[in-house]
Amino acid sequence: MREPVTAYLGLGANLGDARAAVVQAMEDIGRADGVRLTARSALYRTAPVDSSGPDYINAVVEVHTVLTAPALLHCLHGIEAAAGRARPYRNAPRTLDLDILLFGESQIASLHLSVPHPRMEQRAFVLVPLAEIAPHRVDARALRAVLEQAIERID
């Protein structure tokens, strides 16, 4: 068996009962084979960035996993599909969006996966909840750079 890797996952939704979808996704991630949920941020409300539709509910979770990054991504896609995720076009509003933000110290650039997430340092909805549960993983300059983006902690 592989040594567990600490990964950070971004969660977001803005269609249907977005809050319930994010909370359910946290539970589903925690029940996934080969994954152990070890920390979760509060929920945050944010306006869409490079997207449209209602405000998003966002969060970040920390997991320890024995899965490879592609296997973890496959698992996350299954959770998204179970939540009714459709991908009609890039950055479409969504019932659930799950992203691998960080996977240990890995740097991955493949057709289907980029780690660290390529736009995470430009988004308050990622950096603020990540800083809440893993401040050592967030560059203070990057966090200051997104402070003008509206984000509201809702729990």
**Which sequence positions are flagged as catalytic?**
85, 94, 97, 99
Write the DSSP string, the chain.
-PPPEEEEEEEEE-SSSHHHHHHHHHHHHHHSTTEEEEEEPPPEEE--SSS-SSPEEEEEEEEEESS-HHHHHHHHHHHHHHTT---SSTT---S-EEEEEEETT--EE-SS-EES-TTGGG-HHHHHHHHHH-GGGS-HHHHHHTTTS-EEE--
